[in-house]
Chain A
C-alpha cells in the first residue's frame, strides 16, 4: 500500500502517466517495418523517463521499477544493442499493459505482479545496468562505491545528476548570496551526494571534502566552512528530479555553473555517432525534440467542468449583451461615441463564446490512436496479416462526441478486420497482396467531419444480402428488384438482417451495424456504406463538429416554447383545410397526416405529456381543435432513424443556434427531450428528441401505411383540381386581376418608377445585393399592355429563380386564402395556370416557373407565349 501525498496531484499524475504510456504504445505500434528512428526513440525514452521520475515522486515503487527497466531497454534500442523485432514490440506492449494496470490500481498495487515483465525486459539486455554520466573535468570519483551507489539509487527514481560549481567572493557585496540560503535552496529540490570546498587563502588552496548521508549535517558543515573565508570555490555533486533549466531556476544559480552530467554523456555519444558518420541526422532530432518539449510546457490540463462553467458565463454574457442592445436604442443617439463601444463589446463577447467553445474540441487522434493496438490484437487472434493506415487532417471534434464515437468505430474496425479482410491464403488466391489494408481516414467536408473505415477485403455479397432479406421477410422480391446497389447495401443496417448469427453465413459483415447506425444518428450524424465484391468496403460516418451547439427551430406548442434540432426537421407543413395532397385524417383513435401520398403519424405534445404521466390523453378532435388557428393547422414533419412523424405546433418562431445543456434528472421520465437550452431571449426550454419521441410513442410509419391502405382507398394519391391556396391578388395596366401563390414569391416591394433602368432588351432595378431583372406580367398573358404612369409601383420577387427576377405590377390588392377551381379552357397560355372566379372577379393565375424559364431563355416573350398558347 502506498502512502498518498495528495489525491489531487495523483489525479494529475494519472492523466500524465496515461499520456506517457500512450506515446510509447503508439510509437511501437507504428513500427511497421521495425525501423527505429532516432527522433521517435528519444520520444519514447523521454516518456519512460518522465514516467519514472514522477512515479518516483509519489513513491509508486512498482511503476518506477517497470518504467526504469523500460527506460534502459529503450536506451539499448537506441544504442542498437537490441534490434527491434516482433518479439521486442510484444514485450514493450506487455510492459505498457502492465504499467496501465499499475496506474489504474495505483492505490492498491500489491497484487500486481511485475517480476515477470521485468525479467523479460532484462532477458533481452543481459547487460548489467549502469549509470551513464560524463566524468571528464569533475573532481569527484565515480568509482567510489558510496558515490556510485548513491547515483544508482538516484537513477532508479529518475533523478538527474548535476555538477554545480560556484565561486564565493564576499567582496561582491549585494550580489553575494549567503551560503546558507543557497544550500537551503539546493536541498529543497535536490540531494547533495558529495561536496568539495576549496577556500582561497594566501597559503594556497586546500581541499575540504564533505560527504554525509544526513543532508542537514552536510548543510551545516558546508556553511560553516564557507563563511570562514572571503573567497572560496564550492563544488557539489547533486541529484535532482528537476530538469536542467528548472533546476537552475530553483536554486537561483546561473545555468553556466550547473552541468547536467547525464545529458553531456548523451550528447557526447551522439557526437561520436555523427563523427562515425553513422547517423548524420542524430543532432537534428535532438534540437527538434527540444522544441517539442518547450511546446509541451504551453499547454495545461483543465477540468471539463471549468470549461463548461466558462461556456455558461460566456453565453450569459451574450444574453446580457442582447438585453443591453434592446434597451439602448433610445439612448444611443444621445450618447455620442457609444456606438463603436457597443460594437466592440458585441464582437468581443461573440469571440469569447467561440473561443471557449473551441476549448472543448479535441483532435480525432485521441480515438484513432487506440486502433493500431486493437487491430494488431485482432489480427493476431485471427491469424491474419493486417496493416493499418491512418490518415487524418486536423479534424477536431467535441469531447463528448469523440467519446461517443469510440464504440461505433471500434465496431466497424472489428467488422472489417474480422469479416471484411480475408485470410492471407484467400487473398493470395484472389490475386491480392497477402497483407490486408485497413484504412482509417478523417477529413472535413461541408462543415462536418467525415470518418471512413475502409478495407480492401472481400466486400459485401449483395446477392447473399438479398437472399437474407427475403428469408427474413424484411423486403419482398419486387422491392429488391427495384433497389439500386446502394439501397441493397443499406440493408445491412436493418436490424433483422444484421444480427450476428444470421450474418456470418452471408459475407459475414453487418454485426451490430444497426446499432452503429442508431448510435451515429442519435449523435446527429449519418452512415453510408460502399462496397464492391472482392475489392473492399468503405463505411463512412458523417458527424457534426460539435454537439454543444445545434441549429434549432424554435416552436411554440400550446404557448410553451420548444427547440427542435434542424437535423430532424423534414419540412414544415401548413394545412388550410382538407386538400388532397395535405390533410389530417383520423385512423382509429389517432391522427395521421396525408402528405403527397405519404401517410405520417401525427403526435401532439398533449399525447406525449399524458402518456408520460399515465393520464388519458385528450381526444384527437380536441387536440386538432386546439392547434387550429384561423383555420390553419401547422405541423412539423420530423425524421429520425429513417422514419417520420408529424408534430402539431402552434407556430414556428425562428431558427437559432442553441447551446445544449444536460437534461435535469427530474425531466428524464420520458425520452422525448434530449437536452435543455437557454434561448437568445433568456428563456430556458427543452430540446425535443425526435428519435426519443418516436421510441416513447411507439410510432411506426411503415405499419401505419398498411393500416391506412386497408381503411382508406388510397385517396391521398388522387390529384384534384380544388386546392386551398394562399394567393396575392394584384393588378397591372389593364383591369384584369392577377393572382400568384404566396409560396412562389419571396417578397413584395414598393418602388419608384424612376428606379427602373432599361439595359439592352431587359428592364432592371437596383436591389440590396445587385440588380434584379423585372418583367411585366402583361408580356406573358394575352392582354393589353399600357405604360404605367403611377408614382409608385410594386415589384413581386419570384422564388426559385437563379438570377433575381421580379414582376412589375401596378397595384397589390389583397392576400386571400381560398379554394380555387382553375379553368384552363378560357385562356390558354404556357405562362398561365388558368383562371378562376373569386367573388365577382375573375383571377388570372400566373405560372411563375414558366415565366422564369422564359426569361432565362430570353426569347422574344410575347411571340413565344402566343405561339405556345395555341389560341
Chain B
C-alpha cells in the first residue's frame, strides 16, 4: 500500500495515497465557530469549498487556540470526494512527509490501550524503517462525523447545561 506520511505535533501519520486528491500548502481558513471542534473551518480550493478537519481534535486532543482568525493559513491534505461535491474534506496537518510503501501484512491493529476517541481514526500501525506510522482511516472519520456526531454534540450539550 502506497501511503503519504504527514506530521502533526511532530508525530508521524500516514494515509492511503489513492484517497488523496492533492496537498494544499497555504489554504486561507475561515473558522466556523458553531461547528464541532473537530472542524477547523472552511477554505476555498479552486472554487470548491473544503471542510478542514483537525486530526488533533479527532484524536481527542485540543487544537491550539487561534486568537486572530483574519490571517490564518493552513497546510492540508485534500481528499477525494466521497460523499457529494459539497462535502469534500481536508485534514489540517503541520507538514507533509513523503511517499512510503507499507506492506499491508505488516500493519498491526491499534492496541487496546488506545483511547476510544482515537480508535476510530486509526486503521492500524505499521513500522517502516525506524519510524512507527499510524495509518489514518478517513472513511471511518467521515462516517463518524456525518452520522454519529450528533451524539458527541448532545453529550457535550448536557455538560454545557450543567455548567450553565
| A-to-B contact residues, CB < 8 Å | 305, 308-309, 312-313, 315-316, 319, 556, 558-561, 605-606, 608-617, 661-667, 669-670, 672-673, 676-678, 682-686
Contacts and interface: CB of A to CB of B under 8 A. Distances in A.
Given A614-B158, A667-B35, A667-B42, A319 B47 contact: yes
B156 interface: yes
Interface string B30-42: 1111111111001
A306 to B, nearest CB: 11
A52 to B, nearest CB: 37
Given A667-B32, A669-B149, A669-B153, A614 B159 contact: yes
Contacts of A670: 34
B30 A669 contact: no
A612 B34 contact: yes
A605 to B, nearest CB: 6
Contact of A665 (B46, B87, B159, B163): B87
Contacts of A665: 83-84, 86-87, 145-146
Given A666-B89, A682-B28, A609 B34 contact: yes
B34 A661 contact: no
Contacts of B119: none
Contact of B146 (A312, A558, A606, A666): A666
B18 interface: no
A335 B98 CA distance: 42
B30 A683 contact: yes
Contacts of B153: 612-614, 669
B64 to A, nearest CB: 17
Given A305-B85, A664-B86, A667-B51, A686 B30 contact: yes
Nearest to B33: A609
Interface string B64-89: 00001110000000000001111111
Given A560-B30, A667-B35, A682-B28, A613 B160 contact: yes
Contacts of B30: 560-561, 683-686
Interface string B126-164: 000000000000000000011001100110111111011
B83 A614 contact: no
B106 interface: no
B117 interface: no
Contacts of A561: 30
Given A558-B69, A609-B34, 9 more contacts: A610-B160, A614-B157, A614-B159, A615-B160, A665-B84, A665-B87, A666-B36, A666-B145, A667-B34
Q: Which of B30, B47, B68 has the most CB of A within 10 A?
A: B47
Interface of B: 28, 30-39, 42-44, 46-51, 53, 68-70, 83-89, 145-146, 149-150, 153-154, 156-161, 163-164
Closest A-B pairs by Cβ, 7 of them: A614-B157, A609-B33, A316-B47, A614-B160, A612-B34, A662-B86, A684-B44
Contact of B49 (A611, A612, A678): A678
A684 B164 CA distance: 33
A612 B160 CA distance: 10
24 contacts: A308-B85, A309-B85, A559-B70, A560-B31, A612-B35, A614-B154, A614-B160, A615-B156, A662-B86, A664-B51, A664-B89, A666-B53, A667-B34, A667-B35, A669-B35, A669-B153, A672-B34, A673-B32, A676-B49, A682-B44, A684-B44, A684-B50, A685-B30, A686-B30
Q: Which of A613, A678, A684 has the most CB of B within 10 A?
A: A684
B87 A664 contact: yes
Contacts of A559: 68-70
B33 A560 contact: yes
A83 to B, nearest CB: 53
Contacts of B34: 608-609, 611-613, 667, 669-670, 672-673
A359 to B, nearest CB: 17
Contacts of B83: 665
B49 A613 contact: no
A608 B33 contact: yes
A684 B46 CA distance: 11
A684 B69 contact: no
A666 B34 CA distance: 11
B87 A666 contact: yes
Q: Which of A561, A606, A667 has the most CB of B within 10 A?
A: A667
A676 B164 CA distance: 31
Contacts of B46: 312, 316
Nearest to B163: A616
Nearest to B46: A316
Q: Which of A319, A612, A617 has the most CB of B within 10 A?
A: A612
B33 to A, nearest CB: 3
Contacts of B89: 664, 666
A604 B144 CA distance: 30
A613 B87 contact: no
A611 B163 CA distance: 12
Given A613-B36, A684-B30, A663 B47 contact: no
A214 to B, nearest CB: 51
Contacts of B85: 305, 308-309, 662
B35 to A, nearest CB: 5
B149 A661 contact: no
Contacts of B35: 612, 666-667, 669
Contacts of B145: 665-666
Contact of A312 (B28, B47, B68): B47
B156 A678 contact: no
Contacts of A316: 46-47
Contacts of B43: 684
A315 B47 contact: yes
Nearest to A677: B49
Contacts of B159: 614
B91 to A, nearest CB: 12
Nearest to B86: A662
Nearest to B158: A614
Contacts of B51: 664, 666-667
B38 to A, nearest CB: 8
B153 to A, nearest CB: 6
A686 B86 CA distance: 13
A305 B85 CA distance: 9
